[in-house]
């Protein structure tokens, strides 16, 4: 069990994170898989026990639901979902890039727990309406897609999102990682983006415990390893 007020974040690579609250509730986001005609990952997504799984959109690198237990609650639609300790708000919008031109849907998930608040951007486009962005602002931790190929977002678009959301901690995702990424995925690392940012950078392990008492005075970028 985590200490009161403390959450544990585990990174599985790509856009997949597991959040474990201090009350032991677990939330998995965007587990990944390969497709027969698209090999993006060197290894399979491991089986992860979780209470809730959030799927931002129906692309293969975000929706490996077959690893989940039968008792897991899967949320993949916009709306508000609440229980005694957690509020999850799914804001429906449009995927970035080529898929966005086809109006492919994406959901940004805001997670509010007794410990912390999180925003997972999924693969969303940058130009979100004011009405929607007002529901997403002022979170503690922002998971946002970044890579040096601008696969989803340009650096200036990421910068604008950060200015609007105002997170305490930025955690990049959806980029090339030697440990799990196959060259076929066409993504690049985040070296150029990291160099371009003025925030303090913290390189941490696959798992990290975090509480509000440990927040930096100014926004930091946390780069998680796997």
Domain ranges for the chain? 6-224
Binned at pLDDT 50, 70 and 90, residue 1 comes out as low
Query: What distances in angstroms separate CA 204 from CA 47, 70, 178, one per listed residue?
Result: 23, 32, 16
Across the chain, what does the average pLDDT equal?
Answer: 94
Q: What is the rounded CA–CA span in Å between residue 68 and residue 213?
A: 33
Q: How far is CA 57 from the centre of its chain?
A: 12
pLDDT 10s digits, 24-63 = 999 999 999 998 888 999 999 999 999 999 999 999 999 9
Higher pLDDT, 191 or 98: 191
Residue-level pLDDT at 100? 62
> Does domain 6-224 fall into CATH 3.60.15.10?
yes
Query: Taking residues 129-144, what's their average pLDDT?
Result: 94
- Give the pLDDT of residue 4: 78
- What pLDDT score was predicted for residue 36? 82
Q: Which residues of 39-54 are buried (b: 16+ CB within 10 A; e: fewer)?
A: ebbeeebeebebbbbb
Q: What is the pLDDT of residue 45?
A: 94
- Whether 219 has a pLDDT exceeding 70, the answer reads yes
In 10 A of CB 154, how many CB atoms?
Answer: 11
Instruction: Return the pLDDT at 207.
Output: 97
CA 85 to chain CA centroid, nearest Å:
21
Look at residue 76 and tell me whether its pLDDT is greater than 90.
yes
Q: What is the pLDDT of residues 87-125, one digit of tens each?
A: 999 999 999 987 767 789 999 999 999 899 999 999 999
């Amino acid at each position: 069990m985590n200490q009161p007020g403390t959450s544990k974040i585990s990174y599985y690579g790509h856009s997949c994170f597991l959040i474990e609250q201090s009350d032991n509730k677990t939330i998995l986001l965007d587990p990944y898989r390969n497709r027969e005609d698209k090999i993006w990952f060197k290894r399979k997504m491991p089986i992860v026990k979780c209470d809730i799984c959030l799927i931002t959109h129906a692309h293969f690198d975000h929706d490996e639901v077959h690893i989940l237990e039968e008792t897991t609650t899967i949320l993949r639609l916009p709306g508000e979902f609440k229980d005694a300790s957690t509020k999850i708000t799914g804001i429906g919008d449009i995927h970035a890039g080529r898929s966005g031109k086809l109006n492919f849907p994406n959901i940004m998930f805001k997670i509010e727990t007794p410990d912390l608040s999180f925003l997972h951007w999924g693969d969303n486009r940058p130009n979100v309406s004011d009405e929607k962005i007002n529901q997403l602002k002022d979170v503690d931790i922002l998971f946002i897609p970044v890579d040096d190929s601008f696969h989803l977002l340009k650096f200036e678009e990421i910068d604008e999102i950060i200015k609007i959301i105002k997170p305490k901690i930025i955690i990049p995702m959806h980029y090339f990682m030697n440990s799990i990424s196959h060259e076929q995925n066409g993504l690049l690392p985040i070296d150029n983006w990291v160099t371009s940012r003025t925030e303090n950078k913290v390189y941490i392990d696959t798992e990290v415990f975090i509480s509000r008492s440990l927040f930096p005075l100014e926004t930091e970028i946390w780069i998680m390893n796997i």
